Structure formats: structure tokens, C-alpha cells
Amino acid sequence: MTACIVGWSHTPFGKHDAETVESLVVRAADEALAHAGIGASDVDEIVLGHFNAGFSPQDFTASLVLQANDGFRFKPATRVENACATGSAAVHQGIKSIAARQARVVLVVGVEQMTRTPPREIGVNLLKASYLPEEGDTPAGFAGVFGGIAARYFQRHGDQSDALAMIAAKNHQNGVANPYAQMRKDLGYEFCRTESERNPIVAGPLKRTDCSLVSDGAAALVLADTETALRMRRAVAFRSTAHAQDFLPMSKRDVLRFEGCAVAWSQALAKAGITLDDLSFVETHDCFTVAELIEYEAMGLTPEGRGAEAIREGWTRKDGRLPVNPSGGLKAKGHPIGATGVSMHALSAMQLCGEAGGMQIPGATLAGVFNMGGVAVANYVSVLERIK
């Protein structure tokens, strides 16, 4: 254990016309420092997770964090990007600085403002996280990519429409208790399962309720080395981390297996000296419901092709064997790209400190976080444990 989460902040996710990337960053940074009980002068390094790809007219955004406090002046500040795993990439970079003894305290901020971008441009921007020479003409953008994956999964393993609707309904039900969630409405299984004017087909077999939301928002973490953390108000340790990067072209791998996800989970669990059964809950990357389904298999919860068993048997519900996405996940919470991974870590730390309110998993002691960029290209896993 080289680093701990000692404070966090989280803006509501949603459509924030009155905000800018700068105002979201400043708010998240200020609130995280206050939560940790430290000042800007105590921070040794700043890492910003921001995907952008055309969403923000202002670039060079690592420097915007300094707008939060003049005490940040002359601190090292770097922007990190790795598609939809940008937030976790920033978190892991902060951990590396602490492990290398280049910093004792690191402020990590994740941010994105997407809703000001016209819908067609949103699709173009997101598709930049695919391999454009082969996938750049996919109809419906990234939804089309995952719609194609869902269709291929159905062809190989049978129609999983019921399972996808169960996953969507579970996450929307969980999201009701999340004060930061973009959509706090229990839609129910029947609505998620039924194609309708309000829930149309988007791509392949995926309906609107199978797709995560376009969002604005920010989240932040204060990381500290273990010795420093144990003198602070709270300390949630990184028991282990893993990052596995896979090929970008889907043609070079079996995209129904999420092999990079499986490798990252295997490495993280082995480093932590635990099994999946030891985890109290998991926050996983449900950009689309079919992604969560395949992730059940990649993390080892079910054998390949049998992910539906986990949701059908209730294993991943809040009261199940391994609750998955008690926050509501990206499906209900929203998915501001650069903020997502930081959000997952912040919400997991809340759970382990017993500060998750209505989202709380009773007696949670170990958390697993999986955040991915592209179609299981950038794969990040963290195992978290409270030590104070």
C-alpha cells in the first residue's frame, strides 16, 4: 500500500449550462481539499483527467486547476488522457508519483463538459476512441460499435435482451439513492425491456435504456502516502492497482471476451492477495449494458457466455453476492468521460468510509473498481480498503 484516498469531492452529473470546464474543475478541487482538511500549499502535484476530443474549446486544461487557488502556483500539473478510462489513468498516475516518492500529496481532478456539443459532434468525438481506419464509419458512432458487439454476443450465446434490461433496471433503481446521479428514476424492468417511442432502438439490439448518458461533471480525490494518510481524518488505501492495454483495432482480438479487462482483474486480485469473493462490491464500466454483462465474465463472476446468470440470479443486486454499481453506474449516474474513473474511486471510498447514504452497502470492507477506455482497450482495476 503506497497511496491512500484521504479526501474527495463530486459534483452532480448532468446538463450544466451555467458551468464551464474551468468552474467545474475549480469547484471539485476546492471541495476535495476542504474534505481532506488541507490547503493548496500541502499539495505536491496535480493530475487532471480530461478527455476533451473536441468537447471543450479551452485546451491545456491542466493549468485550469491553478484557478482554484493561488497556492497551486508553480506546482507540477499534468493532464492525463486514455479515452473513457481517463479518470482512472489520472488516479493511477497520482499513485505512481507517490510510489516514486516524488510527492506526498497529490490532487487528482477529473472533468468533462459534453452537453454543449451538438449531438452529431458528440458521436464523432466519442468515435475517436475507436480505430478509425476500420471502425470510423460505424453508423450511430460508439453506440453502433457496442450495438454490433451486442449483436455478435447474441449470435454466439443466444438472445440476452432480458439480461440487458435487468442490468439497466438494476442500475436505474440504484441510481435513485445517488445524489450525484444524472437520472434518479427507477424505470423498472418492463420499460427497459420494451421497445417504445420513449425507449427506441439505438443500434443493433440496444435500446436507449442500454446506453449511458451524455453528461457534464467533475470529481476529485486527494491522495497521500500511507504515513501521511494515517495522520489525517480518513484513509482508504489502494491495496492494489493494475492497468492492461490491449490492441485498438477490434479485428486483432475477440471483442466478446474483454481479455484486457480479464488480465487487469487477474493482476489486481493477485497483487491484493484476494479473490473476487472477498470484495464487498464493484463499481464497473457500464457504458452500455452489454459491457457490464461481458465484464461479469471477464472479472470471473461467471464463465464465458454465461454473464446473464449473474443478473438473473440477483448476484449483482445491492443485496446480492457481489453488488455491482450500487451508485447506479454510468447508466444512471452519467458518463462525463474525464470524470468517470475519478467518480468511481470517490464513490467507492464513500462506501468504505460508511458515507454513501442511501447507496451504502452495509459492512463494506473491500471495493473493486473497473474503468475502461474504448472497447476494453485501456483497462484499469483498483482494489480499495479502508485503513483508517
Using an 8 Å Cβ cutoff, are 277 and 292 in contact?
no
Handedness of CA 223, 225, 227, 228 (dihedral sign): negative
| Structure confidence at residue 211 (pLDDT) | 98
d(CA 69, CA 237): 27
C-alpha cell at 167: 442490468
Long-range contacts made by residues 305-309, C-beta under 8 angstroms, separation at least 24?
305/156, 305/157, 306/157, 307/160, 307/163, 308/160, 308/162, 308/163
28 half-sphere exposure, CB direction, 13 A CA radius: 37
| Structure confidence at residue 1 (pLDDT) | 73
User: Nearest to residue 269, comparing CAs of 160, 370, 120?
Assistant: 370
Place of cell 471495493: 367
| Structure confidence at residue 2 (pLDDT) | 87
Q: Give the number of other CB atoms < 10 A from CB of residue 106.
A: 27
d(CA 263, CA 244): 7
User: Nearest to residue 111, comparing CAs of 13, 224, 4, 6?
Assistant: 13
Q: For residue 240, what are the contacts with CB-CB under 8 A and spacing of at least 6? A: 267, 268, 269, 271, 272, 381, 382, 383
Place of cell 443466444: 158
Q: Give the number of other CB atoms < 10 A from CB of residue 133.
A: 10
Query: Burial code of 208-229, b = ≥16 C-beta within 10 A, e = fewer?
Result: bbbbbbbbbbbbbbbbbbbebb
Q: Give the number of other CB atoms < 10 A from CB of residue 287.
A: 25
Give the burial class of 162: count Cβ atoms within 10 A of its Cβ; 0-12 exposed, 13-18 middle, 19 or more buried: middle
| Amino acid at position 148, single letter | G
Beta bridge partners of 240: 383
| Structure confidence at residue 336 (pLDDT) | 98
- 210 to 48, 148, 193, 230, 331: CA distances (angstroms): 29, 13, 10, 42, 8
The CATH number for 3-117+214-229, chosen from 3.40.50.150, 3.40.47.10, 3.30.2130.30, 2.40.50.140, is 3.40.47.10
Please report which residue ranges of the chain form alpha helices under DSSP H: 21-36, 86-99, 119-127, 132-135, 141-157, 161-175, 189-193, 226-229, 259-272, 289-298, 308-312, 329-333, 337-352
What is the DSSP annotation of 63-126? GGGGGG-GGGTTS-EEEE-BTBTHHHHHHHHHHHHHHTTS-SEEEEEEEEE-TTS-HHHHHHHH
| Amino acid at position 150, single letter | A
Using an 8 Å Cβ cutoff, are 332 and 183 in contact?
yes
Helix (H, G, I), strand (E, B) or coil at 301: coil
| Structure confidence at residue 198 (pLDDT) | 97
Give the residue ranges of the chain where pLDDT is below 50. Answer: none
Average per-residue pLDDT for the chain: 97
d(CA 323, CA 301): 11
Place of cell 481524518: 233
Using an 8 Å Cβ cutoff, are 209 and 187 in contact?
yes
